Chains A and B, each alone.
Chain A
Amino acid sequence: MRDAFIRELTDLAPQHPELLLLTGDLGFGVLNGFASRFPRQLLNVGVAEQNMSGLAAGLALEGHTVFTYSIGNFPTLRCLEQIRNDICYHRANVKIVCVGGGMSYGAVGMSHHATEDLAILRALPGMLVLSPGDLWEAAEAAKHLVSHGGPAYLRLDKSSAPLTAHRDRAFCPGVIRTVCDGSDVTLAATGGILGEALLAADALAGQGVFCRVLSVHTIKPLDTNTLVAAALETGGIVSIEEHAVDGGLGGAIAESLMEAGASPGFFVRMGLRNTFSSVVGSQQYLRRVYSLDAAAITRIVSAKLGIPVPLLVS
């Protein structure tokens, strides 16, 4: 996703001379192309995320479209108050880009896992929160952000779901993308973990259970209409995120459905439950450990529907 994002930004930079990319001394190797073609539009501000965010606000107030770029929680939690006061309160045109959403950085450790960012960033007034599920969504999100006015957060996952046949549909921020349709159960995922939902849906289809798989690439504003339809038209909703269940996708869906008065047949939030991801392992391994992989999804759905757990289609 990172490469798709940078490729898109590199393509768009010449048409947007006001665009600036600020990095907190990260992106070794991957920002070289951008740097050599547009040296005036790239600024390595050093390992100083608070300053990066304040600078971004100052630059944006002077008319620039500013992207801040770092990994994990560094561009968000480390400098949260600058994001709140300097960027959001001033409605500054700053796009915060996190590379390594969720447990993308696997064995690197908890310090590099972003597992509360969606909850925290979506609490900020005026913030658009994007969390693409595949490479197409990542590229489209980047394209959208260049012309979007105001604060935004883009969470890029190292993993991404396989590209699906629905790519011809326009990317609409704020509108959930229905990746595959079904009426038995809704699997609502955000980020690269969408791939696990698709694998689970394939397995469940073998049991005659047809899942509606939703890519919730926009956490804020949340697409209530699609969620209400899912609550009313399918047997239940499972939210799937590589993130704490508190306040993340699952929390957002619950709020939204409760306010809309729509009650799904059942509702399960899959994510980290009051825990840090402290086990050592790859992103895939950690998904298994924390019961967030396709097998875990099939177990949950099967239990809810009272059917045998299907084998995954390898």
Chain B
Amino acid sequence: MIPNRVTIDVDAPLELARRVRIQALRMTNRSGASHIGSALSCADILAELYSGILNVDPANPGSPDRDRFILSKGHAGVCLYAVLAERGFFPVEKLVSHYQDGSDLCGHASHHLAGVEASTGSLGHGLSIAAGMAYAATLRSAPHRVFCLLSDGECDEGSTWEAALFAAHHGLSNLVAIVDYNGMQGVAPVAAVVRLEPFADKWTAFGWAVRQVDGHNHEALRTVLRDAPFEPGKPSCLVARTTKGKGVSFMENTVLWHYRVPRGAEFDAALAELEVRS
């Protein structure tokens, strides 16, 4: 029984994802910030999470029975800021302050903003924090869930796997890890840096219930996220197969747009593509 869930029609998450992508693009353009590729990669996942999966209430962001969401891949902060603003946690107009002097919106996710549970940015921290929150919920038999979105690159971090071991050992079925598996990390493809495959098998071997999904297929995302926990007594891992830079043809599946800032003609072209796709 989840009382505060926002219920919206099935097309809405798609439109939310589009708006989030445009906001993220505008923010990185205005601020000269990196990581647009990483933000576009997880926009559909965040849009689905904040369209009826997470039990969160913008009017009461600290409600004890809310679901918790940790953006472990804090470099996609613009994506989280955009979705929170679009969902009413703070005014959309605030997004223009991203990166600006005196703003609350730093490049990486900041807990100084309503709706952001934890500040992140250094990779490999989020799953431990999420596991701590999930363990706390089990101690008081609270029914809420804890979701954590990781990048594939941060699965290079040993601390991610420390947390994975812990969560499985304690059967934290209220914990859901989603890996934005776009196959591209900071400076090279994942497969060329440190091989993660067989990736889903690794999580299975660590004791997690694992599902895989097309991370841009809203219906599939919705269905699988509603199913979590995937198995009783186990934490759930959703390996979301994604495309870095999704939604902008020349940004898709390229390492370049991890750091490159969309400016000038590139910005205009990217914006045009995102607007057309509505």
Bound together: yes
B245 at the interface (CB under 8 A from A): no
Give Cα A195–Cα B165 distance, bound, in whole angstroms. Answer: 43
Q: Are A58 and B135 interface neighbours, CB within 8 A?
A: yes
Contact residues in A for B33 (Cβ distance below 8 Å): none
Give Cα A59–Cα B129 distance, bound, in whole angstroms. Answer: 8
Contact residues in A for B132 (Cβ distance below 8 Å): 54-62
Interface of B is mostly: helix
B136 at the interface (CB under 8 A from A): yes
The one of B125, B129, B163 that contacts A61, using a Cβ cutoff of 8 Å: B129
Contact residues in A for B137 (Cβ distance below 8 Å): 62
Interface residues of A, count at CB 8 A = 25
Give Cα A86–Cα B121 distance, bound, in whole angstroms. Answer: 11
Q: Are B119 and A48 interface neighbours, CB within 8 A?
A: no
Contact residues in B for A175 (Cβ distance below 8 Å): none
Q: Are A90 and B111 interface neighbours, CB within 8 A?
A: yes
> Which residues of B in the span 21-60 have a Cβ within 8 Å of any Cβ on A?
none
A299 at the interface (CB under 8 A from B): no
A50 at the interface (CB under 8 A from B): yes
0 or 1 for each of B142-173: is its CB under 8 Å from A? (1 = yes):
00000000000000001100110110010000
A164 at the interface (CB under 8 A from B): no
Contact residues in B for A277 (Cβ distance below 8 Å): none
Give Cα A50–Cα B164 distance, bound, in whole angstroms. Answer: 12
Give Cα A179–Cα B133 distance, bound, in whole angstroms. Answer: 43
The one of A40, A48, A54, A64 that contacts B129, using a Cβ cutoff of 8 Å: A54
Q: Which residue of B lies closest to A45 (CB)?
A: B166
The one of B119, B122, B124, B166 that contacts A46, using a Cβ cutoff of 8 Å: B166
A224 at the interface (CB under 8 A from B): no
Given that A40-B139, A86-B118, A86-B125 are known contacts, is A58 also in contact with B162, CB under 8 Å in the complex?
A: no
> Which residues of B in the span 236-259 have a Cβ within 8 Å of any Cβ on A?
none
B95 at the interface (CB under 8 A from A): no
Q: Which residue of B lies closest to A50 (CB)?
A: B159
A85 at the interface (CB under 8 A from B): yes
Give Cα A53–Cα B128 distance, bound, in whole angstroms. Answer: 8
0 or 1 for each of B111-131: is its CB under 8 Å from A? (1 = yes):
100000111111011011111
Q: Which residue of B lies closest to A43 (CB)?
A: B135
A93 at the interface (CB under 8 A from B): no
Count A/B pairs, Cβ under 8 Å: 88
Contact residues in B for A51 (Cβ distance below 8 Å): 128, 131, 159, 162-163, 165-166
Contact residues in A for B121 (Cβ distance below 8 Å): 85
The one of B127, B136, B159 that contacts A59, using a Cβ cutoff of 8 Å: B136
Min CB–CB distance B117 → chain A (angstroms) = 7
Q: Are A55 and B135 interface neighbours, CB within 8 A?
A: yes
Contact residues in A for B128 (Cβ distance below 8 Å): 50-51, 53-55, 57-58, 82, 86
Q: Are A54 and B125 interface neighbours, CB within 8 A?
A: yes
Q: Are B136 and A50 interface neighbours, CB within 8 A?
A: no
Give Cα A81–Cα B111 distance, bound, in whole angstroms. Answer: 17
Interface residues of B, count at CB 8 A = 28
Contact residues in A for B136 (Cβ distance below 8 Å): 58-59, 62-64
Give Cα A77–Cα B116 distance, bound, in whole angstroms. Answer: 28
Q: Are A61 and B159 interface neighbours, CB within 8 A?
A: no
Contact residues in A for B129 (Cβ distance below 8 Å): 54-55, 57-58, 61, 86
Min CB–CB distance B131 → chain A (angstroms) = 6
Q: Which residue of A lies closest to B139 (CB)?
A: A40
A89 at the interface (CB under 8 A from B): yes
Q: Are A85 and B163 interface neighbours, CB within 8 A?
A: no
Min CB–CB distance B166 → chain A (angstroms) = 6
Contact residues in A for B119 (Cβ distance below 8 Å): 85, 89-90
Give Cα A45–Cα B125 distance, bound, in whole angstroms. Answer: 16
Q: Which residue of B lies closest to A79 (CB)?
A: B159
Give Cα A51–Cα B134 distance, bound, in whole angstroms. Answer: 14
Q: Which residue of A lies closest to B111 (CB)?
A: A90
Point out which of B111, B119, B129, B163 has the most chain A C-beta atoms below 10 A from its C-beta. B129
Contact residues in B for A45 (Cβ distance below 8 Å): 166
Give Cα A59–Cα B162 distance, bound, in whole angstroms. Answer: 16
Q: Are B131 and A55 interface neighbours, CB within 8 A?
A: yes
Contact residues in B for A58 (Cβ distance below 8 Å): 118, 128-136
0 or 1 for each of A141-160: is its CB under 8 Å from B? (1 = yes):
00000000000000000000
Point out which of B111, B133, B169 has the most chain A C-beta atoms below 10 A from its C-beta. B133
Give Cα A163–Cα B136 distance, bound, in whole angstroms. Answer: 39
The one of A48, A81, A90 that contacts B162, using a Cβ cutoff of 8 Å: A48
Give Cα A51–Cα B206 distance, bound, in whole angstroms. Answer: 15
The one of A50, A56, A60, A64 that contacts B124, using a Cβ cutoff of 8 Å: A50
Min CB–CB distance A10 → chain B (angstroms) = 19
Q: Are A61 and B118 interface neighbours, CB within 8 A?
A: yes
> Which residues of B in the span 8-32 have a Cβ within 8 Å of any Cβ on A?
none
Nearest 4 A/B pairs, CB to CB: A58-B132, A54-B128, A62-B136, A51-B162
Given contacts A45-B166, A57-B132, A82-B125, 19 further A-B contacts (CB under 8 A): A43-B135, A48-B166, A50-B128, A50-B159, A53-B128, A54-B127, A54-B159, A55-B135, A57-B118, A58-B132, A59-B133, A61-B118, A62-B132, A62-B137, A64-B136, A81-B122, A85-B120, A86-B118, A90-B111
